[in-house]
């Protein structure tokens, strides 16, 4: 099975699943031989097989140079103009460096970055010994992407002085005294300094190679061996480990979550908050001390082969650092990442005296276990299979409509996007692909079985990309569903993953993979979602502007159009959409949460235009007090929640506590996460109400019913012939 992907971005979360031994060499920031070979293979692939093949020349070198610097120092808080001038000869030499397999220059630039970062942090720490005057009229310029490089060392030191002053003021406004503030910031800067020492050559190499890859086009990436492993786990939604989500805190590896049914949970010997201080790969080995290790290294040491043994040396959550440790022996098992799988729920909405039941299917990603499917495993993990099962269950629950929630679904398997679409439209084309030669291929299923032939809605936001956009666009073009939310991301390109290890005939993973764009996809109506995304039929309020999503990239491919595919719409929503829009507007006009939301959007837009923040305590306190008063006023205006949603709205606008994520206690972080999960989701509820409106309008008007449902009978009676 070919890994054909539609993926917005590869992201590695701060929390990682316990996993695999790492036999990395000692920390030396010098290019390793496999990296040098991988650079050459990557350059060959990108110059020959990319959808928009771009020569590796001086023009590309300049792009790589600028993008690499931006990845290191986007806010221009580390390098000075003299540093940039020092490396300016390399601006037109990085193409030669890649061709000649000589990575010394990008590594030299990174070493200077590392040195400057250390110098800035040491300077910041030294500033904590002085007293700051918060009565002065002074500001901190926190948005510096468009700024020029500092012209002198004194200029950049003054920028850092104001940054430290802002850090101090944020904590002071949150109620911390001077002693607590100093301790917090000392710890923060020391932690950042310690992390600098943990950097490896693979970090440098991946950063530089992605500066090259994304200079061609935003969704082309180089994935090192570790990133490749994480990518495969994300696609198959499983790994072999102990079933514990780990997190780095205070230079220690902490258990953040235990997966139900996993070895860690079943042992009864581990709990959330326990600290892992040692790991042994076998039952007869002594644990290796992992204090101060990088989280990814600890994770990979714990991960391993199924049914093998791992020993975990644990410091209990409530114990002091000198307390006795507990040695826990576990047998690794296959762990399913169910939190990323499709899920169902039911929302009830009132329609006069009648209650309508809206079945909600939330799909975080279009996942598929490529390897299991290739091997012929009939139980391979698949988003479409899971959704089909959930639809069957929802039918038994006698739901009236289905809402597919694709918010923040960044994409995944192209095959899954097609198969999932055919679950709702039956046989027919879903998407068109055009390759670099201009050849167009229509993709779809000519023998699909419909899993749901009733009313349908799709909820999207700016984080809905690629495969999500294929699905939403197909439902819109067929007149099959009402699309609700905000305009989607706008990624209309197809990626394939090429294994450099396979190219080099390597049995061990040491070269990584290249994810490169090989085609562009088009809707069945001939348009593309590239750049413009999918425009919802009913738009919900949004914090995002026109320059977010794909439009925010400086080298995104343009929008385009080709001939439409041979398809026949299943319905026509033209006349019903204005009625749905009117009911939607009338409803949210009475809803205080949407009024608050619009106020926050206006405030956000105003703040976004600001490039700096005041360092005057009185001014900042006045801003804080005004915000506190507004939050209290909102709480007073909120009416008791109805039976449909006992939860309160999420407190997304809570006051700033001045802390970074890893500085908050694990208990408070987990409590906030739990509160967010159970919070009232006003967008989801409104989307369900819109589907309720649609159902009631269709039931009350024979004309609307005939128009909206004109082709739905074909879902049951016609096998269909797919256009090719």
Task: State pLDDT tens for residues 590-647.
Answer: 999 999 999 999 888 888 888 899 999 999 999 999 999 999 988 888 866 544 445 5
Confidence of residue 351 (pLDDT cuts 50, 70, 90): confident
Provide the CATH number for the domain around residue 326. 2.30.42.10
614-637 b/e (C-beta count within 10 Å ≥ 16 → b): bbbbeebeeeeeeeeeeeeebeee
The answer on pLDDT for 311 being more than 60 is: yes
Closest CA to 257 of 274, 276, 279: 274
Do 112 and 199 lie in one domain? The reply is yes
Nearest to residue 150, comparing CAs of 123, 189, 128, 175?
Answer: 123
Contact between 531 and 551 under an 8 Å Cβ cutoff? The reply is yes
Q: Could you tell me if 251 and 399 lie in one domain?
A: no
By three-state DSSP, how is residue 24 classified?
A: coil
- What angle in degrees, to the nearest 10, is found between the helix axes of 104-127 and 153-173? 50
pLDDT higher at 575 or 446: 575
Q: Are 161 and 84 contained in the same domain?
A: yes
Predicted confidence at residue 716, as pLDDT, reads: 63
Two tokens, residue 407: 């918010």
Residue 106, domain member (yes or no): yes
Q: Is residue 608 included in any domain, yes or no?
A: no
**Residues sharing a CB contact under 8 Å with residue 657, sequence separation 6 or more, in sequence order:** 174, 664
Q: Is 333 a catalytic residue?
A: no
244 belongs to a structural domain = yes
Q: Answer for the pair 401, 455: CB distance below 8 angstroms, yes or no.
A: yes
**What's the confidence (pLDDT) of residue 159?**
98
pLDDT in tens, 277-301: 999 987 778 899 999 999 999 999 9
Which of 336, 361, 392 represents a domain boundary (last residue)? Answer: 336
Query: Residue 724 domain-assigned?
Result: no
Mean pLDDT of 459-482: 97
336, 358, 378 — which closes off a domain? 336
Q: What is the Cα–Cα distance from 237 to 339, expressed in whole angstroms?
A: 9
- Tell me: pLDDT of 341 over 90: yes
Domain boundary among 336, 353, 379: 336
477 is catalytic: yes
Mean pLDDT of 659-664: 89
| Same domain, yes or no: 248 and 266 | yes
Residue 119 has pLDDT above 50, yes or no: yes
CB contact at 8 A, 315 and 333: no
Stronger pLDDT, 458 or 236, i.e. the higher one: 458
Residue of 413, 466, 468, 614 with catalytic role: 466
| Segment holding 232, helix H or strand E | helix 225-236
Please indicate, yes or no, whether residues 197 and 303 belong to a single structural domain of this protein.
no
Residue 212 shares a structural domain with residue 244: no
Q: How far apart are CA 132 and CA 406, in angstroms?
A: 48
Which three-class secondary structure state does DSSP give residue 673?
A: helix
- Is residue 561 located within the same domain as residue 704? yes
Task: For 88-101, write each residue's pLDDT tens digit.
Answer: 999 999 999 999 99
The token duo for 713 is 């009978």
Pair (696, 578) in one structural domain: yes
Average pLDDT of the chain is 90
User: For 16-51, what is each residue's pLDDT tens digit?
Assistant: 333 333 333 345 699 999 999 999 999 999 999 999
CATH code, domain carrying 519: 3.90.226.10
Residue 609: inside a domain, yes or no? no
pLDDT of residue 235: 81
Residue ranges making up the domain that contains 434: 339-589+684-717
Same structural domain, 78 and 121: yes
Residue-level pLDDT at 422: 97
Q: Are residues 400 and 487 in the same domain?
A: yes
Q: Residue 3: what pLDDT?
A: 61
pLDDT of residue 20: 34
If asked whether residues 488 and 360 sit together in one domain, one would say: yes
The count of domains in the chain is 3
This model's pTM is above 0.85: yes
* Higher pLDDT among residues 81 and 340, named by residue: 81
The DSSP code sequence of 117-185 is HHHHHHHHHHHTTSPP-TTS--EE----TTSPPBSSHHHHHHHHHHHHHHHHHHHHHTT--HHHHHHHH
Confidence of residue 418 (pLDDT cuts 50, 70, 90): very high
**Burial class of 474 by CB neighbour count within 10 A (0 to 12, 13 to 18, 19+):** buried
427, 491, 614, 693: which one is catalytic?
491
3-state secondary structure of 344: strand
Comparing 713 with 587, the larger pLDDT belongs to: 587
Q: Which of 10-24, 189-203, 303-317 has the lowest mean pLDDT?
A: 10-24
Active site residue 674: no
Q: How confident is the model at residue 678 (pLDDT cuts 50, 70, 90)?
A: confident
For position 547, what pLDDT does the model report? 77
Residue 231 belongs to some domain of the structure: no
Kindly state whether residue 647 falls inside one of the protein's structural domains: no
| Choice between 231 and 349, residue whose per-residue pLDDT is larger | 349
Query: Quick one: 485 and 571 in the same domain?
Result: yes
Q: What is the mean pLDDT of residues 173-182?
A: 96
Q: Using a pLDDT cut of 90, give the percent of the chain over it.
A: 75
Q: From the candidates 95, 167, 296, 477, give the one annotated as an active-site residue.
A: 477
* Mean pLDDT score, 473-491: 97
Domain for residue 223, yes or no?
no
What's the confidence (pLDDT) of residue 250? 83
């Amino acid at each position: 099975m070919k890994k054909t992907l539609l993926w917005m971005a590869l992201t590695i979360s701060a929390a990682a699943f316990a996993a695999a031994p790492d036999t990395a060499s000692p920390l030396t920031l010098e290019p390793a031989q496999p990296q040098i070979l991988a650079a050459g293979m990557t350059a060959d692939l990108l110059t020959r097989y990319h959808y928009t093949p771009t020569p590796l020349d001086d023009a590309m070198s300049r792009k790589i140079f600028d993008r690499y610097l931006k990845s290191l120092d986007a806010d221009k808080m580390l390098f000075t103009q003299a540093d940039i001038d020092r490396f300016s000869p390399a601006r037109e030499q990085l193409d030669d460096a890649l061709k000649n397999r000589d990575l010394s220059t990008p590594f030299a630039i990174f070493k200077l970055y590392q040195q400057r970062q250390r110098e800035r942090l040491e300077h910041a720490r030294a500033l904590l010994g002085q007293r700051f005057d918060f009565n002065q009229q002074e500001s901190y310029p926190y948005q510096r992407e468009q700024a020029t490089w500092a012209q002198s060392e004194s200029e950049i030191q003054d920028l850092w002085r104001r940054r430290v002053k802002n850090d101090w003021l944020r904590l002071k406004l949150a109620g911390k005294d001077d002693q607590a503030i100093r301790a917090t910031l000392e710890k923060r800067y020391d932690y950042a300094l310690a992390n600098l020492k943990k950097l490896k050559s693979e970090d440098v190499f991946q950063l530089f190679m992605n500066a090259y890859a994304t200079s061609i086009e935003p969704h082309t990436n180089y994935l090192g061996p570790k990133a490749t492993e994480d990518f495969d786990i994300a696609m198959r939604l499983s790994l072999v480990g102990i079933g514990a989500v780990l997190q780095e805190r205070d230079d220690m590896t902490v258990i953040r979550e235990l997966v139900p049914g996993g070895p860690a949970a079943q042992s009864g010997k581990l709990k959330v908050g326990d600290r892992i201080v040692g790991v042994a790969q076998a039952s007869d080995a002594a644990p290796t001390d992992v204090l101060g290790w990088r989280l990814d290294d600890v994770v990979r040491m714990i991960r391993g082969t199924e049914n093998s043994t791992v020993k975990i040396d644990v410091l209990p959550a409530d114990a002091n650092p000198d307390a006795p440790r507990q040695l826990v022996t576990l047998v690794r098992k296959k762990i399913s990442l169910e939190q990323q799988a499709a899920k169902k729920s039911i929302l009830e909405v009132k329609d006069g005296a009648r209650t309508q039941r809206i079945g909600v299917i939330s799909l975080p990603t279009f996942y598929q276990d490529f390897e299991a499917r290739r091997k012929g495993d009939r139980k391979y993990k698949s988003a479409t299979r899971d959704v089909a099962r959930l639809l069957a269950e929802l039918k038994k629950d006698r739901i009236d409509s289905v809402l597919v929630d694709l918010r923040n679904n960044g994409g995944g398997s192209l095959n899954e996007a097609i198969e999932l679409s055919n679950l709702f439209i039956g046989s027919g084309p879903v998407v068109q692909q055009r390759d670099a030669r201009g050849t167009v291929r229509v993709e779809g299923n000519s023998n699909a079985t419909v899993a749901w032939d009733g009313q349908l809605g799709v909820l999207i936001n700016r984080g809905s990309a690629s495969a999500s956009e294929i699905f939403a666009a197909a439902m819109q073009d067929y007149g099959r569903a009402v699309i609700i939310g905000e305009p989607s991301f706008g990624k209309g390109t197809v990626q394939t993953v090429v294994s450099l290890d396979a190219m080099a005939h390597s049995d061990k993973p040491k070269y990584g993979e290249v994810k490169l764009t090989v085609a562009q996809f088009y809707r069945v109506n001939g348009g593309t979602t590239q750049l413009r995304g999918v425009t919802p039929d009913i738009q919900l309020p949004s914090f995002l502007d026109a320059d977010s999503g794909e439009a925010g990239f400086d080298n995104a491919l343009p929008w385009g159009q080709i001939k439409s595919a041979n398809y026949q719409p299943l319905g026509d929503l033209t006349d019903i959409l204005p009625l749905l829009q009117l009911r939607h507007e009338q409803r949210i006009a009475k809803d205080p949460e949407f009024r608050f939301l619009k106020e926050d959007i206006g405030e956000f837009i105003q703040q976004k235009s600001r490039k700096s923040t005041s360092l005057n305590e009185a001014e900042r306190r006045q801003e804080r007090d005004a915000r506190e008063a507004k939050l209290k006023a909102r709480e007073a205006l909120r009416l008791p929640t109805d039976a449909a949603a006992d939860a309160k709205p999420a407190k997304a606008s809570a006051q700033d506590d001045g802390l970074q994520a890893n500085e908050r206690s694990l208990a408070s972080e987990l409590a906030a996460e739990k509160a967010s999960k159970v919070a009232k989701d006003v967008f989801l509820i409104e989307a369900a109400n819109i589907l309720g409106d649609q159902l009631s309008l269709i039931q009350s008007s024979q004309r609307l019913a005939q128009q909206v449902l004109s082709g739905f009978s074909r879902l049951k009676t016609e096998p269909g012939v797919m256009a090719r």
